[in-house]
Structure formats: C-alpha cells, structure tokens
Amino acid sequence: MVIDMIRHLNKNKTWIIIGLAQFLTGIVIILNSQQLDTRIPKTLSIFDDVPIGAVYLFIGIMVIVNFVWDFYWYYIRVVLIVASEMMFTLLFISYAINDYILGGLHFFTCYVGLFALDVLWQAYLEPPHKLLKGGSGR
C-alpha cells in the first residue's frame, strides 16, 4: 500500500502541486479576504470571500487525496479537474479585472493565471481511460 502511494505520488506529482496550490490559495483568501476593488461586478467580487476560500481548501484537499491514492471511479477526476479549473479561472478573471481597474499587475493574478493554465495542460495530458467511462478499461 505504501509502495503504491509512493508510485502514485511520483506519477501524479504535478496534480499534487496543483492541489497544494489550491489549498494555499484558500488560505491566502481566508487570511486576506475582501481585497478586490468595489468597482468590479458583484458576481466576481465574491471570489475573495472567506466561504469561497473554504471551498478552495476543500477542493485542494480532495485533489491531493484523489491523486495520492489515484482514484478514478465515478468520474471523480473529471469533477475535480473541472472544479479546479473553474475556481482558478474565475479567481483569475476577478483579479485581472481588479488589476485593470487599479492600473497594475499583481503577483497573485499571475500566480492564479499560471495555475489555471497548468490545470488545463495537465487535464490534456491525463490518460483518457481515467477521465472517460469512470475508470473502466484499466
């Protein structure tokens, strides 16, 4: 079992890093909530609130657990990949609009954008049998 976990850690190390980044993003949002300018649309300004930070924490933990044990039943990978991409992309859009309004570019915007692109790239590289058919066809 431990040998399998080490093998999965080595095979899925990029996903583990993405899960850790999502977890750390949740911590940053919880500790520094309400940083977005009030002039951005209300639907986008909620992405730096404490409840959304907790969602980032939860998704980050689920991504780490899923890829350490390499689950791919019931489309769990697809759900986690889509949730991760959606959360990173919406946060990136919120901070990009905020940066545009304030007239500058911040590190957090680049960080979130980088991970949004990384999730897309890793989803593209993911083996189809782990995404389609819920893992059947090992």
Among 119, 98, 123, 118, residue whose Cα is nearest residue 108: 98
**Mean of pLDDT values over 69-93:** 86
Quote the pLDDT of residue 1.
Answer: 67
**Model confidence at 92: pLDDT above 90:** yes
Q: What is the pLDDT of residues 16-62, one digit of tens each?
A: 999 999 999 999 888 887 777 677 777 777 888 889 999 999 999 99
Helix (H, G, I), strand (E, B) or coil at 12: coil
Quote the pLDDT of residue 72.
Answer: 67
Confidence (pTM): 0.82
